[in-house]
Structures are given as C-alpha cells and as structure tokens.
Structure 1
Amino acid sequence: MKQTAIIFLGLLLFGGTTKSQNTDPIFNGQDLSNWVPVLRSEANADTVFYVKDGIMNAGGDPFGYIRTKDSYENYELSLEWRWTGEPSNSGLLLAITGEDKVWPHCIEAQLKHKNAGDLVLMHKGAQASVQGQDYQVDPEVRWVSVANKFNPSSEKTPGEWNSYRIRFLNGTLELWINDTLQMQATNVTPTKGPIGLQSEGSHIQFRNIELIQL
C-alpha cells in the first residue's frame, strides 16, 4: 500500500511538471499585456477589450480583435465563453498571418451563435480538407470559405458558460464545443501565427484561456 502511494505521488508530480513545462500563460487573468488590439475604426481599445474579475471582455463594437503578441504552432487551446446579452458573432482567429487588419488572413474557429464549431477560412491561401472535401478561398468569388460543423449546435443557453477546446497539430485541426466534436479538418493552412479573439456584434466574455504546446 505504501509503495502504491509513493508511485501515485510520483505520477502526480511528474504530470504537474510536464504541464508546467508545456503550458503557455497567454492570458494571466489580470491584464492584456500579452495582447495587441486591432480595431476597424478609431476607438479607445481599452473600452472594447478589458479585464474585470479575471475575465476578458470584448465589447462587440467596433469590430476588431485582440491577438497574442507571440506566434504559436502545434498546440491545444481551451477556453470558456459566454454572451452577456443578446448573442451575435465572434470567433477564435488561429494562425493569423501577415498584416493586422479587420479581418486578417487566418483560420477561424467560429463562435457565431448557433454556429460555434464551424471552420472559416479567411483570404487567399487559407485551405483545409473536411470529410474528403477540399475547401479553399477563391478571392474572385468570396474572401472566406466555410465548412459547416458536424452536429447540431451543442452550445448552452446564452448567459451560461461554454467550453471550447481546439487541438491544432501538424495541420490537423479539431474543434470541440462542450465536449462535442464539431469539426475535424486536415491539410489546414496556415498553421502558425498569433491567436486572436473577435469583437464582432455584441458583448462576449472569455475566461480560463489556456494553451498547451504539443
């Protein structure tokens, strides 16, 4: 019994050390010092994106996003979100590439109400394969391409906290909404860049933002 307890304790310590080595604190729950705001129109970014009680807030107006200063590739990202009023649109921008603008070249994990889990490709060069079908942006048709989520919405009632888990490894992307797999894509491009959270319509909150490098 004593030996079993020692082994169990050792596993706990080893697991804790591994997580500490691989986890990147992209949001410290106190301020936005690791983030860069990008807005469509002139506005005080501090009134659009701000932290209160350990929660990151995005006002929804004007449109824009706030992104990490650092770039990431091969990771698992988890967070919680909720709408504080009438739900509308938002998203997680992955592998932001090139110029900071609204909206940038990237891969979006959709957060639009009832559509969380859709995959949105933005601008020429963004592409993915989903269930044997290739998706890419044709700028002569539209600047985005959308692959719809696999299942009916698994979002909770507006006002309740939802969980989003994203695994992005070697060009394969999985999106889990409240533990339901809503998207799995391969041959995803681009794969590396900052991560952003959108302000796009109405007030949304984010918390427990954690990234584990794979």
Structure 2
Amino acid sequence: MTTRREAIGLLAHLGLGAGAAALLPGGVLAQAGSAGGDWRPLLNGRDLTGWTFFQDGVGAQDRDGVIAFHDGEMHVLGPEYTGPENPGMGYIATAEEYGDYHLSLEYKWGPRRFAPRELAKRDSGILYHAPSGRDYLWPDCVEYQIMEQSTGDAIPVNHRAIQAISAGGLPSWPRDFPGNTQYAPQVNAGPNLRQHIRADGNFDTLEGWNTVELICRGDSAAHVVNGRIVTALYGLQAQHEADRAYASVTRGRILLQIESAEISFRNVRIRSL
C-alpha cells in the first residue's frame, strides 16, 4: 500500500507540494488539474437545443414524455412520463463532439422506478468520448457511472483505460505514477467488451442534489463526486469498428442516460481546458 509520505512525494513530483497534500482528499487534486476557460451552459434548462434524443424501441422522437423541463431542471421519467411500465432505455446526446474540457452538473434521484429494474439500484450515467454517427443502445464510450452508492465508477465500452495508481485512497491526478502501463481487464459482455473500474470511495447522497464533474484532458480523465476525486484514467483508447484495433481517443459526444429510474439534472455546464 502507498503511504501518505509516498503520496506527498508524488504531489511534490507533480509540482503541488506538501501544502496541497494537507488539504486532501480529492478536491485539491481535481482543482489542480482543471484550470480552464469560462463556464457556459451545455444544456439550457428549457429544451434539448444542441442535443439529440434516442430511446431504444422508440427512436429519435420523445413519444411518451420521457424528458420534461421545469424551472431550469431537466426531469427524466418524471411525472410527465406517460409510456409503458418498461420504457426503452436510451440517452440524450450532444450534437457536437468535445475534447479537453471540464464538465459539471448536478443530479437528484426521483421516486419512480421502472421495469425491468424496479428492485435494482437507481442507475444513470454520463457517457463520454462517444463517436458521432448512428444511435443505438449501449454505444461505444467511456461511462461515468451515476448509480446509488457507485457514482464515479468508470465503465469503458469498446474503449479501454489504465486505472490510476491510488495513493492511500487518492487516485493519482493530474499525472499518474511512472511505469503504470497496464490496462484494466476487460470482460466480454456479448455485443461489446467492457472494463469496470471502481471508484475509490462512495461520496454520493441518495437524498437531494449531488454535484459531479468530469475532467477530460488529452487521453486522460478524472471523475469527481461532491468535491472528491474518485477515479482517474489514463491512456484512453477506442476500438475501431472496422478492424477492432485500439487507438488513442481524446474527444467525442457527451450523453446523459435514460435507464429505468427517475432522475433530474440541472446546471449542466462546460468549459474548455
């Protein structure tokens, strides 16, 4: 196990110094890696301008009121939803691709749960580095998991990543320990290959609003939950559909998932790094 002294040594190597280490965990490291331009809204809080909609079994039009906006908040599968008890899963997606950015948003769970996950933990997610093109369920991407007591996990789908070395519970960021070049193991999930990189700690709340942040810089990424950095990824790669070979990936569309649970989003904003 990495000691606190070794962690402080890493911070010194990164140019942060022991003073920053005294303010750990999490938020200081995230701030150190996220200086950038001015914030701007990515979702305007009124409609899906700049975004597209996809629901499995339904398509590109929101037939059943899956998405609704009130007072600057976007509600997913809320009271306005009038469709079947087993709504098709899907997402909203940015029309543009993004790279080198800091994304921030707030989310809050609602009470409604739907088949086939009435008894499962409520689940959603931010999918990033998704390619442009056709829409389909479980697209190629890196998922920033939003799930009860698992928010911040990373699930690369036909992508892969090197999990940062954790220095006593602190994923190394904005640079990893030298020599960490091993990609996390993949599992065959049928139509795709997946990794599951678990967050270092549970910092989400099941009641009220949570703030999550995603920092993408080059082929690296950090997941921040309520001010704590919980996951850091390096050497991000995507699998090319034609030859299944992996190559570095640094940009793509950003998606917010629709997954059988009521959830609200607000203050979805982004800035360039």
Partner residue of 2:141 out of 106, 129, 133 = 106
Q: Does 1:27 align with 2:54?
A: no
Equivalence map 1:180-195=2 (5 Å)? 180-189=228-237, 190-195=249-254
CA deviation profile, 1:81-122 (whole Å, cap 9, x unmatched): 010116511000001115311110001100011110100011
Structure 2 residue aligned with 1:52: 70
Distance 1:70 1:118 in 2: 25
SS of equivalent to 1:198: strand
Distance 2:110 2:155 in 1: 24
Q: Does 1:212 align with 2:271?
A: yes
SS of equivalent to 1:45: coil
- Could you tell me which amino acid in structure 1 is paired with residue 255 of structure 2? G
Equivalence map 1:31-46=2 (5 Å)? 31-42=47-58, 45=62
Q: How many residues align?
A: 192
Structure 2 residue aligned with 1:146: 196
Structure 1 residue aligned with 2:183: 134
CA deviation profile, 1:68-92 (whole Å, cap 9, x unmatched): 1111000000000010116511000
Distance apart, 1:23 and its partner CA = 3.6
- Could you tell me which amino acid in structure 2 is paired with residue 99 of structure 1? R
Identity %: 26
Distance 1:136 1:75 in 2: 27
- Could you tell me which amino acid in structure 1 is paired with residue 100 of structure 2? N
Q: Does 1:175 align with 2:223?
A: yes
Distance apart, 1:59 and its partner CA = 1.6
SS of equivalent to 1:77: strand
Gaps of 5+ in 2: 1-35, 79-86, 114-120, 166-179, 238-248
Structure 2 residue aligned with 1:122: 157
Asked if the contact 1:75/1:168 (under 8 Å) is kept, the reply is yes
Distance apart, 1:140 and its partner CA = 7.7
Asked if the contact 2:161/2:234 (under 8 Å) is kept, the reply is yes
Distance apart, 1:135 and its partner CA = 2.5
Distance 2:152 2:221 in 1: 11
CA deviation profile, 1:4-42 (whole Å, cap 9, x unmatched): xxxxxxxxxxxxxxx8x6444321111111110111112
Q: Where has structure 1 moved over 6 Å in runs of 4 or more?
A: none
Asked if the contact 1:128/1:136 (under 8 Å) is kept, the reply is no
Distance 2:189 2:88 in 1: 27
- The 1:136–1:213 alpha-carbon spacing in structure 2 relative to 1, beyond 3 Å, is farther
Structure 2 residue aligned with 1:201: 260
Asked if the contact 1:79/1:207 (under 8 Å) is kept, the reply is yes
Q: Does 1:64 align with 2:80?
A: no
Asked if the contact 1:48/1:62 (under 8 Å) is kept, the reply is no
- The 1:140–1:70 alpha-carbon spacing in structure 2 relative to 1, beyond 3 Å, is closer
Structure 2 residue aligned with 1:95: 129
Distance 2:91 2:77 in 1: 10
Across the aligned residues of Structure 1 and Structure 2, the Cα RMSD in angstroms comes to 2.3
Distance apart, 1:188 and its partner CA = 1.4
- The 1:136–1:34 alpha-carbon spacing in structure 2 relative to 1, beyond 3 Å, is farther
